[in-house]
Amino acid sequence: MAWQRAASLSSIKDGAVIGVDVGGTPVALFNLGGTVFATHNVCTHALALLSEGWIEDGKIECPLHQGQFDIRTGKALCAPLTEDLRTYAAKVDGDDILVDLD
């Protein structure tokens, strides 16, 4: 495990997502009821940032063609998506959000 600091927990409101750069990798950080989840921030369908999408019921909806992924598992849930989203381990230490991109 190679934990890297990605952001402050206080910078993500409950039910929100932010996009960050972690060592050159675009990462989306989600706060779902105080639990943080991390995924790759680029949609698997085309070039769109999921951090600019909408969260509903634990799903992130892509802003470009409305494909939806499960935030916890990265599973692609509907067309036009055919490929799941990469997820990363995330944990909170104080106000720091740490992610493991390995």
| Minimum distance of ligand FES from residue 26's CB (angstroms) | 14
| Minimum distance of ligand FES from residue 77's CB (angstroms) | 11
Site for ligand FES, residues 21 to 50, rule: CB under 6 A: 43, 45-46, 48
C-alpha to C-alpha distance for 87 and 27, rounded to whole angstroms: 9
| Residues 6 or more apart in contact with residue 8 via CB below 8 angstroms | 95, 96, 97
Q: With CB under 6 A as the contact rule, which of the stretches 6-14, 21-29, 60-68, 85-93 interacts with ligand FES?
A: 60-68
What are the residues facing 54 on neighbouring strands? 61
Among 6, 51, 67, 85, binds ligand FES (CB under 6 A): 67
| Minimum distance of ligand FES from residue 29's CB (angstroms) | 18
Which of 11, 12, 21 is closest to 42 using CA atoms?
Answer: 21
C-alpha to C-alpha distance for 44 and 51, rounded to whole angstroms: 13
**Applying CB under 6 A, which residues contact ligand FES?**
43, 45-46, 48, 62, 64-65, 67, 80-81
